[in-house]
Chain A
Amino acid sequence: MAITAKVDGMDEISEMLTQLAEEGPKAAAAGLYEGAGTMAGELEAAVDTIKTAPFKYAVHGTRLPSPEEVDAIRGAIGIAKFDKNGTEVQTSIGFSNAGYADVAGQTKPIALIANSINSGTSFMHKQPFFRKGVSKAKPKAEAAIIKAIEDRLDEKNLK
């Protein structure tokens, strides 16, 4: 006595898996592109929350950043070139390679100005706009990444 078992449709599944392997890294990059854009946008908005005061030397206590210092970091947030390794793709968002700005008669690296506002110094009051911005933007960036990946896979009928 014997029974016959048959599996149908493996060709379609096999083709879908091949397509998925090709499409995976592209979908991941598309997701990261959207997520990085969302994160950078939120961080730009966080720069606008920094409190300022006209520049003066803090002789005893701490001072607020001057409007010129905040202007220097506004619009300077950049997204690094995507680093791809198989299906893994990563980037960084911040002030690296943002260049220099003239503030109070001195040329300073923009990354240094941003760090001194975010972490504070012995003479500048700390305003952690970057950490706060990242914390606020994370859920939005994650949602943007998932949506972009799903849209990409939908386009290719791979869901």
Chain B
Amino acid sequence: MMPSEYEALVAALKLTDIPFAEYAWRTRPEGTYGVVSLDFESGQLNGNNQKLDRSWEASVDVFFSRLADREDVIRTVEEILAEICGASWELNSSTYENSTGLFHVEWVCQVMDSGVV
């Protein structure tokens, strides 16, 4: 089962104007597009013989070809990250791919799933 915050993040990103896929696109779309993925479990608190308050690292990647789109892309994604992940996110990298002419911005965030106490 996916962590509840990750499910909320995916749902919110899919409501934006940017087409988002989970993990990968079978065929890369034209124009701006995004990828969201749950990467790995980064921590947990144990109690009552079960895992409680587990946290995962997730990432959001957006690819776009026009530099003019950069501000809109960043605002759209960061508003969602701030709403769902609070302060637990950061802009991890911003690169330009010479071979494809695409800009790539990557955010990393922590998502939680609270267990039953």
Q: Which residues of A contact B (CB under 8 A)?
A: 60-62, 115, 119-123, 125-126, 128, 131-132, 135
B96 to nearest A CB, angstroms?
11
User: Could you list 13 further interchain pairs (A-B, Cβ under 8 angstroms) beyond the known A60-B26, A120-B35, A131-B40?
Assistant: A60-B28, A61-B26, A61-B27, A115-B95, A119-B106, A122-B28, A122-B100, A123-B100, A126-B59, A128-B39, A131-B39, A131-B57, A135-B57
Report the count of interface residues on B (CB-CB < 8 A): 25
A61 pairs with B93, CB closer than 8 A: no
Knowing A61-B24, A61-B28, the reply to whether A121 touches B40 (Cβ < 8 A) is: no
Tally inter-chain residue pairs, CB-CB below 8 A: 55
- A99 vs B93: C-alpha distance in the bound complex, in angstroms? 21
A62 pairs with B59, CB closer than 8 A: no
By a CB distance below 8 angstroms, the chain A residues around B27 are 60-61
Residue among A60, A119, A135 with max Cβ neighbours from chain B (10 Å): A119
By a CB distance below 8 angstroms, the chain A residues around B24 are 61-62, 125
Candidates A62, A120, A125, A132; contact of B40 at CB < 8 Å:
A132
By a CB distance below 8 angstroms, the chain B residues around A60 are 26-28
B83: Cβ under 8 A from any A Cβ: no
A137 to nearest B CB, angstroms?
12
B97: Cβ under 8 A from any A Cβ: yes
- A128 vs B108: C-alpha distance in the bound complex, in angstroms? 10
B105 to nearest A CB, angstroms?
10
Pairs A-B, 6 closest by C-beta atoms? A60-B27, A135-B42, A132-B40, A128-B39, A122-B63, A119-B106
B40 pairs with A135, CB closer than 8 A: yes
Knowing A61-B26, A61-B27, A131-B108, the reply to whether A120 touches B39 (Cβ < 8 A) is: no
By a CB distance below 8 angstroms, the chain B residues around A126 are 35, 37, 39, 59, 61
- A78 vs B7: C-alpha distance in the bound complex, in angstroms? 37
Least CB separation from B106: chain A residue: A119
Least CB separation from B93: chain A residue: A119
A133 to nearest B CB, angstroms?
10
- A20 vs B102: C-alpha distance in the bound complex, in angstroms? 55
By a CB distance below 8 angstroms, the chain B residues around A62 are 24-25, 28
Interchain Cβ contacts under 8 Å between A and B, 10 examples: A60-B28, A61-B28, A62-B28, A115-B95, A119-B104, A120-B35, A122-B63, A128-B59, A131-B39, A132-B40
B57 pairs with A122, CB closer than 8 A: no
By a CB distance below 8 angstroms, the chain A residues around B88 are none
